[in-house]
Structure 1
Amino acid sequence: MRTIIRSSEFKEQAIIKEFPENFAADHGFSETVYQTNLEGYTGDTREILLNGICIEHRNIHHENALQLEVHHDFPFFKMHFELKGFSGYASKSKGSRDVTIFDGCHQLFYFPEVKGRLQYAAQQRFTLEIKLTRSFLEKMMGPELAPLGAFGKGLQDNQPVLIGGRSLPIQPAMRNVIYEILHCPYRDMLKKVYLEAKVTELLLMQLAQLEAHREEAPRSVLKSGDAERIRHVKELIEENIQEPCSLIELASRAGLNDFKLKKGFKEMFGNTVFGYMNHVRMEKARLMLLEGRQSIADISFVVGYKNPQHFTAAFKKHFGYLPSDLKC
């Protein structure tokens, strides 16, 4: 199983990555961290092999927009979560599909062959990418793969499948599972069992969300250049947690009217502007609570609440439990 990546930006011209058959690992589990230090393309990738599963967590910085020619010589069933960044794939295989994954979104696809062009924006990228083999899916779902619906049929017919047509937002429950995968508390075989269960849980969440959005999407309100402006709004929200911008201010700074901002933001990220703003604040608070270094009152101030009681009520409404439950 081999991956070949080429770019005129790299002195090496070609990077070849060999995977063991079926992502096999000694004793069923292996974990490796790879450092990347290429022209304008630096960072690290943590790779975990679990006999049928390949988990890759990337923390990569792109100084400039980057295009790569990619070829995988094995069938490709992938769960892709773009935690921060943007990625696009333009297929050169007949009958295959293009894939675009926006910041904070995910996609799930099966391609019998991957041969095409990857495109990344100039920015810091954090991704969780999980490749699965048919043997793992059969172990999980049974030989007929019927529970996978359209994906199961695509695998059995060896046809490309991309459900939903566009990437969808990573839901809060998904982020919780992703956090658990990236911060697994176990080692060795216990870690293997734990990660297999979490990957299965995450896959079922993706299938449920993607199947719910299979209906044809409404006509887009976005024009050329609008997507970049709306991604800028998303960055403004993330950078101004303590003193959130108003909708009018966000629209003005992005060069959009408030109608297009509201409709376009919902189209791209599956959430309202204020819904995403609340999500960012609550996620920041949750991570700070887990770190255990600051009081609930201090954390409420950091995420933009002057009254800790108001913060506690908002946190309980968002997650279903109190901030103090994470401080125990």
Structure 2
Amino acid sequence: MPITLSQHDFWSLIKQPANVDSDNDWAGGEAGEQTWAYPQQFGQGYFREIQLRPGLHLEISDVQHHTPVVVDCGDRPHPVEIHFDIRDDSPKSASTAGQHWLYSSGLAPAKQICHDPHPRSLSLSVHLEPALIHALLGETAIATIPGLGPLLRPVDQPYASQGCRTSPAMTMVLQQILTCSFAGPMRQLFLEGKALELIALTIQAVTPPQPSASQRLKPDDIDRIHQVKDILLQDLAHPPSLIGLARQVGLNDCTLKRGFRAVFNTTVFGYLQAQRLDQARLLLLDGQLNVQQAASAVGYHSRSHFTANFRQRFGVSPRELLAQNYSLAGTSYSR
């Protein structure tokens, strides 16, 4: 016959002073951490609670149930929770391997939780109060994260839960928490950072991907932006102004600037400068022009400005490039 207890009695039995487990305490028992031996009438193992800051704590349990235990849970306020079954040797775990559970805040309904006898269960949970999320991020930031809003339900609404895939990045953070060797304030800082990292990874995973800027552009706008590129390449030395380019292809200058960066990952001016320098390099390697002539040919009026940009892009000055080129050809450069 299973042992049936209310949720209050179950946790009171676990957390009684006689069960404090100093042998399993991490780093000798840090402030804000408490470890209890699992009651022998249920099985063996331990339960650990780590208070990181008001509104944020970790729970870790590593237990083996010898006797079936049923916990009666009534309606109760529930924080945001991320629950990872790191190791679960029970038969039912095969269907949820590689998953974790994400719970929103809200009202958890009454239910029975059954702990069946099985070899071992190692789990870690992050508990986060909505008030802390609001304090950390602010209302404006919360509104910009699509995956976050649904997690912040008021206490008079039923909470929601969903199974989520556990990513390799999450698995790494879990192992870093379990193997943390820091002590004192550094331990507190490390564990809090890792808990927040798990929260960020989880929210990122459930946030629908947002279309990129290029995906938000109309196909016709993308075609016009490619026309701008072609216009620039036709005459690098005498390009139209930004407004002139926009007018030629039938866009406004704001759409042109935003769209060009989305399509080519650079500004119109950045693209023009890169193409000018690439063309100047080819002219210098051809050996028919000196530095000033090559600079003028691609639209530079200042030799010093041309030299500085050239060195930044290619790691050598135009004159050094010419000298290297002539050296390879067996002649000397003096222009």
TM-score category (smaller protein): 0.3 to 0.5
Structure having the higher Rg: 2
Higher helix share: 2
Higher strand share: 1
TM superposition score normalised by structure 1: 0.48
